[in-house]
Structure formats: structure tokens, C-alpha cells
């Protein structure tokens, strides 16, 4: 285990877990949702807003591919790494860039050593290998780095899945051998599509590499929610119990609830921020489309129980007006609301697990739900 980084399990409820992830930049209560800061910013939010209750984000995600292309490693080095560059003093997880590279259909060429690709920005040619992905994440200075992997589409045939699996294992070993900065943890990524036996086989190849945490990759990539839930229910709890478990790129509040129930500790997704920008706001009953005419004269807040600034100060009618007028303030208030909704959702799940654990300690005969 990397110095300064360890996972402390506090309570369980069935397969669900509540714990604390200790990192050099602070402790992270789990289960946790990580807002996505693709280009070094969670869109429309300042670092102070992210860290201030009721949102109180304990960790954010940065994107290796995008930050490598822009602003680039020279700027990142001069500015002292991603924490200082973004004004964020809490933990950061960086993905490896693999998902973005492999999604560049027609712009990349994969071989056994790595991937050559063209930038989606200016068409310039670049190459990622496992070592290069680790070098970039070292320069970013993230608390948690991800191993470089190949993420095949959800419906990929068996031969494609097997080739991706073999490459991911070989590349994981090269990432594990890389000399990382002091205090930077490394997570391995389990691939295998929706085939549970393939997932188990791949996990067996990764565990001897002794990663600090283990992630489930290659889900929510076209396989459908029920297939994803089958993988979560049938496999997530088989990830090492002493390490944090991370479900990459997922998802809806229901996805998060199902993932927590299956034993997952960490989540990320662009959904709350992207949906906010597109007029979709999360509430306990589901989602509302703020552009709908029904909200034109509605004096009520989006959610009267929500403590975010928008819900405490303005009406649905006002938010609808801002959205239709394309005012920047709409994006800020809507993003803050959706991220606060996700944070509160995760805190409720955590409190339920901790309460069950407390009851179990008081009553040894108490049954887990």
C-alpha cells in the first residue's frame, strides 16, 4: 500500500460498505461520488464552491488525455501540478486517458506497446504507452492515478474482449512497475465486459500486482443497465475487501444506489453537470426539464428540501427564464443543484450503512439488510 494512503472500513450493510479513504490531501468518506473536472475544472464551479457545504466535495476527477493536450505538461510543471493550477487543495483522482483515446474511432491505432492517436483539437499526432500515461499523471500530481487500460465497447465480440484483456493486464504490470511520486496511489482496472468469468479471470491477473485500489471499467459503454447490474450484483463484492472499489463513469442516482448495494465505494460521472447544462435537474421523484412550459410561472424552488443556493433563493420560473435566455448564471445554479443532489444522495446511503453498523454493534443478533 502506498505511504499516506489507506482504506479504513467502518461498517457494512449486506454487501454495502461505509469507510474512510485516507490520502495525502485529506480524508474521503465513502461511498463517495467524485465530480468530474475534465479540463481541470468542474464546469461552472469554483474550487471554493465545490468544497463548501452543502456540496462539500472531498475529491474531484481530472482527465489525463485532455490536460495533456491542453494546457500541456509544460504549463502544468511551471504551475506546480494540478492542485495548485486549479486552486484545489483536496484529493484528486486522474484517469489514465485510455477511455478517451480508445473512443477516438478513426483517429487512433492500437498496438501491443500502446496507442498512437490524433488530437481531437488540432489533429496533431501523439502516442500513449502505459509509461507515458503514468508520466503525465505524475506531472499532474494526482493523489490517485489509474493504470492505462483498453476499454472495448459493451457489445464487443469475445475475440476483441480477450485482446483488450491481455493488453490491459500487460499494461497494468508496466504501470505498476513505474516509479510514481511519493504518496501517489495507483488503481488497477478490471475489464471483461459482461462476462463474469472473464471478469474473475482478469481480477486474478491483477491482484498479484498489489494495486492500492481496484476499478470496474468497461461498464455503461452500451451494454444496457440490466446487464451492468448483473455484473455489479455478481462480481463487485469479489474485488479485494481491504481496498477501495471504484465503478468508473457511472451514472444515474439509481446506478449509484445499485452500485453501493453491490459493494462499490467510489463513483464518477459527467451526468449531473452535463444534465444541468442541458436543462435536466435531479429531484427525489426523478428529473425535471426546466424548459417545460409548466415551470414558466412556477414560484416554487426546484426542491424545497435542497440546501443549495438556487433552491434557497430562486424559483423554477426564474431558472427557466435564465435557461431560455442562455444566461451563465443558470449553468452555475443548475450545476450546483445537481452536484448537491448527488452529494446528499451519497451521504444518505452512507448514513444508512453506518446506522446499520451501529445497530449491529449494539445488538449482536441484528440482521443485516
Residues forming the active site: 95, 268
- DSSP line for 262-306: HT--EEE-SHHHHHHHTTEEEETTEEEETTSGGGTT--S-S-TT-
CB 93 within 8 A of CB 61: yes
Angle at 152 between CA 149 and CA 156, to 5 degrees: 155
Strands (E), 26-124: 26-30, 32-34, 36-37, 60-62, 92-94, 108-110, 115-118
CB 308 within 8 A of CB 332: no
Distances (CA, A) of 37 to 43, 51, 86, 179, 336: 7, 13, 10, 26, 14
- DSSP line for 197-247: HHHHHHHHHHGGG--SEEEE-S-SSSS-HHHHHHHHHHHGGGS-TTS-EEE
If phi > 0 it is left, if psi is from -120 to 50 it is alpha, else beta; for residue 326 that is left
Query: What are 307's three cell numbers?
Result: 440546501
Neighbours of 158 (CB within 10 A): 10
Taking Cα atoms as reference points, which of 225, 255, 219, 221 lies closest to residue 33?
255
Amino acid at each position: 500500500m502506498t505511504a499516506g494512503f489507506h482504506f479504513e472500513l467502518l461498517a457494512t450493510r449486506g454487501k454495502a460498505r461505509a469507510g474512510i479513504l485516507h490520502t495525502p490531501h485529506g480524508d474521503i468518506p465513502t461511498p463517495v461520488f467524485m465530480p468530474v473536472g475534465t479540463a481541470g475544472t468542474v464546469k461552472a464551479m469554483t474550487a471554493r464552491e465545490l468544497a463548501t457545504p452543502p456540496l462539500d466535495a472531498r475529491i474531484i476527477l481530472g482527465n489525463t488525455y485532455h490536460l495533456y493536450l491542453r494546457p500541456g505538461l509544460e504549463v502544468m510543471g511551471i504551475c506546480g501540478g494540478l492542485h495548485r493550477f486549479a486552486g484545489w487543495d483536496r484529493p484528486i483522482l486522474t484517469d489514465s486517458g485510455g477511455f478517451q483515446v480508445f473512443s477516438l474511432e478513426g483517429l487512433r491505432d492500437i498496438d501491443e506497446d500502446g496507442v498512437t492517436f490524433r488530437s481531437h483539437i488540432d489533429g496533431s499526432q501523439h502516442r500513449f504507452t502505459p509509461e507515458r500515461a503514468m508520466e503525465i499523471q505524475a506531472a499532474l500530481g494526482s493523489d490517485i492515478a489509474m493504470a492505462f487500460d483498453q476499454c472495448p465497447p459493451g457489445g464487443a465480440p469475445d475475440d476483441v474482449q480477450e485482446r483488450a484483456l491481455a493488453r490491459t493486464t500487460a499494461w497494468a504490470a508496466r504501470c505498476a512497475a513505474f516509479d510514481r511520486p511519493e504518496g501517489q496511489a495507483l488503481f488497477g482496472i478490471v475489464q471483461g465486459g459482461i462476462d463474469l468469468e472473464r471478469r474473475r479471470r482478469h481480477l486474478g491477473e491483477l491482484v498479484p500486482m498489489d494495486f492500492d485500489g481496484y476499478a470496474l471499467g468497461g461498464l455503461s459503454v452500451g451494454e444496457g443497465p440490466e446487464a451492468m447490474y448483473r455484473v455489479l450484483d455478481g462480481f463487485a463484492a469479489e474485488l479485494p475487501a481491504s481496498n477501495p472499489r471504484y465503478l468508473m463513469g457511472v451514472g444515474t442516482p439509481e446506478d449509484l444506489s445499485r452500485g453501493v448495494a453491490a459493494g462499490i465505494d467510489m463513483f464518477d460521472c459527467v451526468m449531473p453537470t452535463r444534465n444541468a447544462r442541458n436543462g435536466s435537474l435531479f429531484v427525489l421523484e426523478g428529473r425535471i426539464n426546466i424548459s417545460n412550459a409548466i415551470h414558466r410561472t412556477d414560484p416554487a424552488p426546484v426542491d424545497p428540501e435542497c440546501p443549495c443556493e438556487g433552491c434557497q433563493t430562486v424559483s423554477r420560473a426564474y431558472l427557466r427564464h435564465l435557461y431560455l435566455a442562455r444566461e451563465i448564471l443558470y449553468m452555475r445554479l443548475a450545476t450546483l443543484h445537481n452536484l448537491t443532489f448527488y452529494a446528499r444522495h451519497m451521504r444518505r446511503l452512507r448514513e444508512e450503512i453506518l446506522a446499520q453498523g451501529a445497530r449491529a454493534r449494539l445488538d449482536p443478533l441484528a440482521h443485516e439488510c
